[in-house]
Amino acid sequence: MVLTEKYQLIKKLARDFAENEIPQELQDEIEETHLLPDSFREKIAKSGLLGMKVPKTYGGGGLDTLGYVLAIEEISRVSCVSAIYISGANSLGSGPLLQAGTPEQLEKYLRPVTYGEKYPAFGLTEPGAGSDSGGVQTSAVKDGDYWLLNGRKCFITAAPWADYTVVYAKTDPKAGSRGITAFIVDMKLPGVSVGKPENKMGILGVPTSDVILEDVRVSDGDRLGELNRGFSNAMKTLDYGRLGVSAQCLGLGQAALDEAIKYSKERKQFGQKLSEFQALRFMIADMATELYAARELVYNACVLKDKNDPQASMHCSMSKYMSSEMCNHLAYKAVQIHGGYGYIKDYKVERLYRDARVQSLYEGTSQVQQIVIANNLLK
């Protein structure tokens, strides 16, 4: 896809932010402490990146999906964990509100996100409901003008930092996925607690934790969208989330290719540079081709999503499936080209390899994406 001047500018602005504001020293600190420093999160908030997809009416940048994906791709090329923090506010965090929020809810919960005054989380996954999103067991029982929520969510990105979480709970236990309703849960409400951050393989810097709900009283004014229509809200939101993950994968893949090319031109064996060995040249050619194909698929899916094309959801799943598998392939090959050095933390490809692995797992495994694609084709 040939990008217009507008999109080229978005890419440049995001690239400049990543290269100037996320130096290697900061990346090393994040890896060591497993946290994005508060000062850096404040810098992200001031940049406007947390609200780039939020409509201008609510103080955001009003970017379309392609513009958002381009920005996340460029930031992921330097720091995937930083991109996840930014993407979380724009896709899964804000998406449910953009899909179903009332003007009052948008003003109260969405506008502060654009200024970094609040950070949202997305509470769908549970210990017994991962790929089977419709199987959530968290319950919501009406109690006058309130709802009483009980349950446990797991693998919730940025839960310890979140000011509120959009929680999906069963309001009609007998109706399966058609009995789920979304609620905006203030994390300071009595009965809300957060579990210990998970000790993860990669994506170190943004904590992932359980959210526990014990007799949490949520006002009916914080019910999000129609009663028993929460599952639809979650699935529509996941389309944008999957494109956000796809963008991360493009950035990771590009970084892996960059490092492989750089190292192959520097390292010598048997009296010549690695870049002169035909086997390694072919590996790099394959990497570049895979990356290019995935990028075209992702960009096209963004355009279809903004056009509300009937096949957009399928293309979002195709994008997430192909790009997440691609970045894992490229990270593997980049480590292989580095040889033993690729297994050492002093080299960037070691981190890329760990960060890539989760991409084919979260926001729908590759197998879930295959189910979505097949269901669309065979319905």
Q: Which positions are annotated as active-site residues?
A: 363
β-partners of residue 148 are 141, 217
Exposure on the CB side of residue 311, measured as CA atoms within 13 A? 10
Q: Please name the residue that has the structure tokens 């406007």.
A: 48
H or E, element range at 279: helix 278-306
> What does the block give as tokens for 3?
């990008």
Longest pairwise C-alpha distance within the chain: 79
In angstroms, how far is the first alpha carbon of the chain from the final one? 30
CA 69 centroid distance within chain: 11
Degrees (nearest 5) of the Cα angle 322, 327, 330?
A: 120
Q: How many CB atoms lie within 10 A of CB 129?
A: 18
Degrees (nearest 5) of the Cα angle 9, 15, 20?
A: 125
Grouping H, G, I as helix, E, B as strand and the rest as coil, residue 216 is strand
Say what the alpha-carbon torsion angle 310, 114, 79, 35 is, to the nearest 10 degrees.
Answer: -120
CA separation for the pair 63, 69 (Å, rounded): 10
Task: Write the CB contacts of 173 (distance below 8 Å, at least 6 apart in sequence).
Answer: 139, 179
Nearest CA-CA partner of 193 in 203, 201, 185: 185
Q: Which letter, b or e, does each residue of 166-186 get, where b requires 16 or more Cβ atoms within 10 Å of its Cβ? A: bbbbbbeeeeebebbbbbbbb
> What does the block give as tokens for 262?
């750089």
CA separation for the pair 289, 204 (Å, rounded): 29
Q: Which letter, b or e, does each residue of 72-86 get, where b requires 16 or more Cβ atoms within 10 Å of its Cβ? A: bbbbbbbbbbbbbbb
What letter would DSSP give residue 106? I
